Amino acid sequence: MADTSFFGRLTKLFRTTAIVTIDKDGKRKVFDGDERQQTNLSSLRDRYTKIQKSFFEQAGGAQSMAYQQVRREVFRDYDAMDNDPILASALDIYADESTLKNEFGDTLMVHSDNEKVKDVLDNLFYDILNVEFNLWPWVRNMCKYGDFFLGLEVADGKGIVNVTPHSVYNTERLERTDPTNPNSVKFKITEDPNGKEEYENFEIAHFRLLADTNWLPYGKSMIENGRRLWKQLSLMEDAMLIHRIMRAPEKRVFKIDIGNIPPTEVDNYMQRIINKMKKVPFVDKNTGDYNLKYNMQNLTEDFYLPVRGGDSGTSIDNLAGMEYASIEDIDYLKNKMFAALKIPRAYLGYEENVNGKATLAAEDVRFARTIERIQRTVVSELSKIAIVHLYAQGIQDSEMTNFSLSLVNPSTIYEQEKVNLWSEKVRLAQDIQGLNMLSKDWVYENIFKLSGGEQDVQRVRMLDDLKDRFRFRSIEDEGNDPATEDEEPDDIEESIEKIKQEIKNKGGRPREGGTYGKDKHPLGRDPLGDKERTSKRTRTSEDTALKYINGISSKRKYLHEDTDMLNEDNILEDTEN
């Protein structure tokens, strides 16, 4: 029977190849938490397993103990390399550049259309995981060992309540342990303080740098390419120091005149001279006596030479030490190690000839791409942590993946180059349109690389931008928001009645009507003098005018003035031909 509990459902969710969600628009979003699309672990085997297993053995067997032992030996080399000042500074630079803050002081940015999801994830990363302080050592350890294991404490209904880093020495990643599910992933922790030892995939966040398939299912350290060079460089530096210590001191040559001393007595005579001139004789620590077997003529002592004959006469000469000023071999190995680290020499203080900013700018862009690769790994595993947290808090639909995380780009020069590239494209498009050389569709397709569907989408969005611009201008100039106004015009009569009703409802003395034709009018009762002009006109003049206007004089013989126009007597009788 299937396990329907919370942790059973969470285990089932992360035992699949990827998490697929479908939003309300029918679009699918795939979250590949274990980078299956990138690594295809089912058909790859690491180099150490190949050494320890036979060729005919099945590829998906359990990992051998020798493999884990080799891993631990490699980790011990990494710990020793961390004591080297160059490599320690390189690891610090990786972590510093990967966890920069933006202009608002945020290390990790959360983007989501759902405000609830954004608030939940902001609370997770900044209040529970405290990424502002913890992300730096997490990234540094991942770059140092190639892997970083973070244990998650998950509670039903609350999400992730705490995290615990685990040592890479004691943590193993187990894959294909379930015969019924080739995509299953578990983690085994030896000497686990919690006493659990075996964890499901959702309980461990495995940060790993997937740069070399030979290291699968683990990541490859950022300093692995320089491990062999570091050993060679350490040997060369030690040899140089020993050589300089032994050969560098300046010695003196004492030439002692022995005169006519017999040859058999020369050695005794010279020994007496040496013992007298030597200020600190060698004393045997065990017996307290002089050790006559002590060789005075070693590399750090002076030389005493007997002379006679033509070279007679006691003299003291200085014998200069060897001057070892050439370190080309050490510089050669150091340059190779810088190339393996992919960090500009100027960042570590080893750049001597930097005459301009062009060289450093180019190196900065290449280094920014390296940091982006590290940031993609970190963001991928942080997204897995976010999905576990959202699922535990009851967000299990398409909103579970409706977010994106991003870290700050370390190179301002890299951003500036992209801005300059877009500026040049816009300027070229304007020139082509201004000269009427090519169509706008050609510009969209060949300069901005937009397909036909993308062009239509951008045109619609341009119309929306124009509407927004008109709306803002209307609000600024007229104080009216066109978006809130009704599309259909109001009825004027209803508006007038509404205004009258509002005035009537205000109460008080009613408004006085017009005074035209009344004594209260400023020009009197008859301001135009109508009555005066009417009294001067005669009836005869009016009748004459009416006759001419109506044309009665020309139709007198046909129409009777005393009858109506529609009277039957006024109908003209047809005359027979």
Any idea which residue has 């862009």 for tokens? 365
58-62, 99-103, 303-307, 551-555: range with highest mean pLDDT: 99-103
- The residue that leads in pLDDT, 534 or 499, is 499
Enter the tokens of residue 235: 């040997």
Task: List for the chain the helix, strand, coil content (%; round to 5).
Answer: 50, 10, 40
Per the CB < 8 A criterion, the answer to whether 239 and 343 are in contact is no
Q: How far apart are CA 384 and CA 292, in angstroms?
A: 76
Instruction: Give pLDDT tens digits for 443-480.
Output: 888 888 888 888 888 888 888 888 888 888 888 887 77
What pLDDT is stored for residue 139 in this prediction?
93
What pLDDT is stored for residue 282 in this prediction?
60
Q: How far apart are CA 218 and CA 221, in angstroms?
A: 10
For residues 141, 104, 109 and 129, what is the CA-based torsion angle, rounded to 10 degrees?
50
- The residue that leads in pLDDT, 81 or 213, is 81
What pLDDT is stored for residue 511 in this prediction?
59
Is pLDDT of 290 > 90? no
35-39, 210-214, 341-345, 515-519: range with highest mean pLDDT: 341-345
Q: How far apart are CA 45 and CA 28, in angstroms?
A: 32
Q: How far apart are CA 48 and CA 51, in angstroms?
A: 5
What DSSP character marks residue 401? Answer: G
Per the CB < 8 A criterion, the answer to whether 403 and 112 are in contact is yes
Phi, psi of 100 (to 5 degrees): -70, 165
pLDDT band of 497, cuts 50, 70, 90: confident
Mean pLDDT over the full length of the chain: 75
What pLDDT is stored for residue 143 in this prediction?
93
Q: How far apart are CA 229 and CA 334, in angstroms?
A: 8
Residue 41 neighbours by CB distance under 10 Å: 21
Is pLDDT of 150 > 80? yes
292-301, 357-366, 456-465: range with highest mean pLDDT: 456-465
β partners of residue 166? 149
Instruction: Give pLDDT tens digits for 119-128.
Output: 999 999 998 8
For residues 242, 243, 245 and 247, what is the CA-based torsion angle, rounded to 10 degrees?
160
What pLDDT is stored for residue 147 in this prediction?
92
297-301, 357-361, 450-454: range with highest mean pLDDT: 450-454
Quick one: three-class SS letters along 517-539?
CCCCCCCCCCCCCHHHHHHHCCH
Weakest-pLDDT range from 215-224, 237-246, 258-267, 309-318:
309-318
Is pLDDT of 142 > 90? yes
Per the CB < 8 A criterion, the answer to whether 209 and 342 are in contact is no
Enter the tokens of residue 15: 């035992």
Per the CB < 8 A criterion, the answer to whether 433 and 54 are in contact is no
Beta strand pairing status for 204-208 and 303-307?
unpaired
210-214, 244-248, 453-457: range with highest mean pLDDT: 453-457
Per the CB < 8 A criterion, the answer to whether 237 and 244 are in contact is no
Taking residues 232-239, report their average pLDDT: 87
Q: What type of residue sits at position 383?
A: S
